[in-house]
């Protein structure tokens, strides 16, 4: 595995500082809101932009109200407030705070950090024009827009797109990954800190329908990227400050679109990261990549596991409930129920309940202690987006853009159904009393009292 010392000579001819790169970012622009940027060479094997300037201590840090990654804090799809709107009306504008057009489609979800909502897109006949956009949460104003050329494969299923992985943030930086395995890191003002063309570095890392695993920022400033496919498969832990590999481990060949999941330790240095493969779930030290334990199961290739305390709920031809022992660093199975079989959505688990959308569009509620089915409710599908939980409500958006709100309790009750536009593949986000939805062409903010 390459170290910083061994990696830098090979990259020396390609290294540029952020200060030297900024003229290229600002050229031909009138304001930050309209500026675009491109990687200097479309054919460069690796571009690493690591500023020698340490990020200022005064930068905002991620708050409890942020939604910093795929499925929100901890990857749980849970919003801790109870102030989200119950319904909205796109035609009249009721509870629609703003909508913003996007330059291209993609299944990637929005994230929210420090009063900004950030989303990716891809455009062009080959979807090789990559976009990272940042909007002001309060007004919907475009704060910055960065564009890059894809250096890896952009072959993908047209139903989805190259902008499939969801960005991630640690409150100071934003990491954006694309199906082409191009990855860029920005500060919250849109300044490019570093860039990696992982697909260009490893040309056999690709598949014919596109890559979809989202990056995870975990432990002491580590970005974990899982690139599992029919070709050269690996997972890599990247230094969030420099963009250089901290570790890299081979992974089984076989396409996986589920995402790495954090399993917090007593300290950030002891954090683990969970990785799906087609035949097992593995836990690795976030700081080194060293495997800690392995659980044999035919894991779901799209839906991702969820962690609640020391319990892990794994979609794998049904739902497996596992208990992690942090002292022994081992895992044991508590129960398994094949009826709790996820379709494309990841499960949502809160307190003593598990929620799974199974084919054909049936929302199932089970006891988290033993897997016993408590109730079922048929919804209108199809679903790709993972539901979002807020209090005793579950927000479920189907591909056609129909947002169905289910009241949770001894039984499930549909209490609202509101229509966005079609093309909702992305899981919703929530922060500070607002919902954020992403459809193919539009980013939406839904908030109570808006008109």
pLDDT in tens, 159-176: 889 999 999 999 999 999
- The phi, psi pair for 92, rounded to 5°, reads -90, -15
101, two tokens: 């057009």
3-class secondary structure, 221: coil
Q: What pLDDT, on the 0 to 100 scale, is given for residue 427? A: 98
How many whole angstroms separate alpha carbon 298 and alpha carbon 314?
10
Give me 89's structure tokens.
Answer: 């009306």
Pull the structure tokens for residue 151.
């250096």
Cα 123 to Cα 104, 150, 341, distances in angstroms: 5, 11, 34
Residue 451 has a pLDDT of 72
Parallel/antiparallel/unpaired status of strands 78-79 and 388-390: parallel
Measured distance CA(246)–CA(260) in Å, rounded: 17
Residue 26: per-residue pLDDT: 32
Which CATH architecture describes the domain 4-447?
A: 7 Propeller (2.130)
Q: Residue 411: exposed, middle, or buried by beta-carbon count in 10 A (0-12, 13-18, 19+)?
A: exposed
Bridge partner list, 320: 314, 336
What are 421's two structure tokens?
Answer: 């536009």
What is the pLDDT, as a whole number, of residue 400? Answer: 97
**Distance (Å, whole) CA 336 – CA 148:** 44
Dihedral sign for Cα atoms in the order 226, 338, 73, 448:
positive
d(CA 245, CA 264) in angstroms, rounded, equals: 21
pLDDT score for 39: 39
Q: What is the pTM of this model?
A: 0.87
Helix (H) or strand (E) holding 234: strand 234-239
Q: What angle do CA 284, 290, 295 make, to 5 degrees?
A: 45
Would you state the structure tokens that stand for residue 284, as one six-digit string?
């690795």
The pLDDT, as a whole number, for residue 76 is 97
Q: Can you list the residues of the chain whose pLDDT is less than 70? A: 1-64
Give how far Cα 131 sits from Cα of 42, 145, 183, 306, Å.
Answer: 15, 7, 11, 29
Asked if 168 and 122 count as a contact pair (C-beta separation under 8 A), the reply is no
Instruction: Identify the CA nearest to 224 among candidates 232, 214, 233.
Output: 214
Give the rounded distance of the alpha carbon of 398 from its chain centre. 18
- Share the mean pLDDT of the chain: 87
Check: CB of residue 307 under 8 Å from CB of residue 350. Answer: no
- Residue that is written with structure tokens 């002491």 in the block: 220
Secondary structure (3-state) at 34: helix
Give the torsion sign (CA, 306, 423, 187, 78).
Answer: negative
The predicted structure's pLDDT at residue 40 = 37
Can you give the pLDDT at residue 63?
A: 54
């Amino acid at each position: 595995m390459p170290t910083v010392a061994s990696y830098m000579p090979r990259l020396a001819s390609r290294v540029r500082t952020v200060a030297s790169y900024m003229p290229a970012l600002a050229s031909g622009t009138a304001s930050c809101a309209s500026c675009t940027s491109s990687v200097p060479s479309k054919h460069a094997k690796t571009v690493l932009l690591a500023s020698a300037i340490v990020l200022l201590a005064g930068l905002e840090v991620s708050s409890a109200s942020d939604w910093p990654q795929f499925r929100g804090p901890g990857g749980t799809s849970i919003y801790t407030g109870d102030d989200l709107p119950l319904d909205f009306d796109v035609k009249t504008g009721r509870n629609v705070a703003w909508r913003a057009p996007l330059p291209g489609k993609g299944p990637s979800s929005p994230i929210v950090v420090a009063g900004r909502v950030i989303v990716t897109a891809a455009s062009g006949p080959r979807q090789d024009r990559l976009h990272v956009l940042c909007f002001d949460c309060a007004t919907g104003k475009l704060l910055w827009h960065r564009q890059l050329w894809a250096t890896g494969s952009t072959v993908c299923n047209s139903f989805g797109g190259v902008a499939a992985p969801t960005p991630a943030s640690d409150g100071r930086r934003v990491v954006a990954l694309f199906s082409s395995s191009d990855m860029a890191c920005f500060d919250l003002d849109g300044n490019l800190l570093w860039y990696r063309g992982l697909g260009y570095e490893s040309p056999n890392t690709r598949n014919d329908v596109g890559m979809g695993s989202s990056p995870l920022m975990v432990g002491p400033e580590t970005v974990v990227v899982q690139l599992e496919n029919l070709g050269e498969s690996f997972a890599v832990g990247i230094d969030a400050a420099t963009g250089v590999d901290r570790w890299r481990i081979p992974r089984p060949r076989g396409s996986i679109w589920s995402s790495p999941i954090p399993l917090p330790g007593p300290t950030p240095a002891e954090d683990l990261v969970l990785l799906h493969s087609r035949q097992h779930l593995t836990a690795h030290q976030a700081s080194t990549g060293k495997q800690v334990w392995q659980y044999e199961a035919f894991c779901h290739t799209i839906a991702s596991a969820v962690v609640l305390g020391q319990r892990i709920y794994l979609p794998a031809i049904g739902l497996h409930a596992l208990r992690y022992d942090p002292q022994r660093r081992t895992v044991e199975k508590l129960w398994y129920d094949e009826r709790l079989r996820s379709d494309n959505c990841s499960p949502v688990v809160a307190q003593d309940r598990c929620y799974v959308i199974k084919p054909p569009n049936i929302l199932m509620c089970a006891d988290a202690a033993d897997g016993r089915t408590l109730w079922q409710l048929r919804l209108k599908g199809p679903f790709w987006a993972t539901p979002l939980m807020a209090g005793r409500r579950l927000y479920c958006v189907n591909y056609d853009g129909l947002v169905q709100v289910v009241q949770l309790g001894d039984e499930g009750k549909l209490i609202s159904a509101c229509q966005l536009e079609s093309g909702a593949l992305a899981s919703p986000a929530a922060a500070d009393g607002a919902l954020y939805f992403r459809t193919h062409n539009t980013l939406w903010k839904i908030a109570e009292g808006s008109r």
